Structure 1
Amino acid sequence: MLTLLHQYINKYIHLSKEEFQDFSEPFELKTFKKKEVVLRKGEYCFFEGFVIDGCFKVYFLTEDGFEQILYFATKEWWITDLDSFIHHVPSILNIEALEDSGVLMISKTEKERLYQTIPQTEKLFRIMNQQSSVALQRRILSLMHKTADKRYLEFLEKYPHLEQRLTQQQVASYLGISHEFLSKIRKKISLEK
């Protein structure tokens, strides 16, 4: 589990063996069963979590009570409600395990301590936040400017091995369409092949 975290952070910064040991020490392994809720709207998010295995959905409920999936988090992705985590406000997001899953979690206090004791940590999380901001910007633009067909094809490209692990309803929720419309898109694409 720590090997995966080490490989991940080595993509962005280099830590000595001792530094990595200090870096990884505050992370706590948590396991979640399928359908177990990690965070509910209205709760305070006290963690950032690095997904070791499994799959999560990060979502909110619309005023009509419909589920809108913001993103799926699989191996080497992070889960949190960043606004709640940073600003200590009630969460507007829900996080739920879609499979039995493992996550390495770190608290805000421990993360701040890492900034002080291992200065490269700030660079790591800055790069991660930049990548996350770019991904969310692209997602917003895609939702605003692309057809559902194109969004579905982007989904398949972004999550190549995930569709078979999800229900049609979950994929449709991520795309912002009904599952009936998703069925039509799938049929259309399969006829075009």
Structure 2
Amino acid sequence: MHLLRQHIEKIVPLTDSEFDYVLSHFSTRKFRKHQFLVQEGDLVPQEFFVIKGCIKSYRMNEEGKDYILQFAMESWWISDFEAYNKHTPATLNIDCIEDSEVLCLSYENREKMCDEMHKMEHYFRKISHSGYIALQQRILSLLSSTAKERYDKLLSQYPTLFQRVPKSVIAAYLGVSRETLSRMV
């Protein structure tokens, strides 16, 4: 079964013809390791569903330090959602940690699909809420947990991430230096 269909059907069931209709709204793209899907300042006409690979979204400060907002692996969505929804320039960079394949969904196609198919409107509402909850938990964790507690939680939630992502990138996500991370593991 198609990975996107599996993901959608965790929330809403689809017939074969409904899934064909949904899939017709996407395009497929492949990106190489370190290739950008989105760069800060660009318009963001698409959101991305990861079929294969590992991707990160981040912002870089004036000194070149990365602040990683999100990772996305297979079956995860990623974009600069503010820029995508408001049609404004990106404030984030999104690039590939590994060679990746994604399904791209334009804002117009998502809106059209949701207007024409209540099931997909329900699906996108549910995943938006899940994303909001995850972001809220991440912020609270950054505010109230120690670096070691954040590391342990990330490791328990996503153990395969640690085989796929360099330690320096994990450290940036946790908000610690590479040296601090090395002392924790």
In the superposition, the TM-score normalised over structure 1's length comes to 0.93
Matched, 1:149 2:148: yes
**CA displacement at 1:151 relative to structure 2:** 0.5
Q: Where does structure 2 lack aligned partners over 5 or more consecutive residues? A: none
- Matched with 1:128 is 127
Letter in 2 for 1:72: F
In the TM superposition, 1:63-82 aligns within 5 A as: 63-82=62-81
Matched, 1:40 2:39: yes
Compute the RMSD of aligned alpha carbons. 1.0
TM-superposition CA deviations, 1:90-132 (whole Å, max 9, x none): 1111100111110001100111110122121110000000000
- Equivalenced residues, count: 185
**CA displacement at 1:165 relative to structure 2:** 1.4
- Matched with 2:110 is 111
Q: Distance in 1 between matches of 2:22 and 2:164?
A: 32
SS in 2 for 1:183: helix
SS in 1 for 2:44: coil
Letter in 2 for 1:87: K
In the TM superposition, 1:49-64 aligns within 5 A as: 49-64=48-63
Q: Distance in 2 between matches of 1:158 and 1:46?
A: 31
Q: Distance in 1 between matches of 2:88 and 2:157?
A: 31
**CA displacement at 1:17 relative to structure 2:** 1.4
**CA displacement at 1:64 relative to structure 2:** 3.4
**CA displacement at 1:157 relative to structure 2:** 1.4
Q: Distance in 2 between matches of 1:170 and 1:158?
A: 17
- Matched with 1:92 is 91
Q: Distance in 1 between matches of 2:62 and 2:143?
A: 19
Q: Where does structure 1 lack aligned partners over 5 or more consecutive residues? A: 187-193
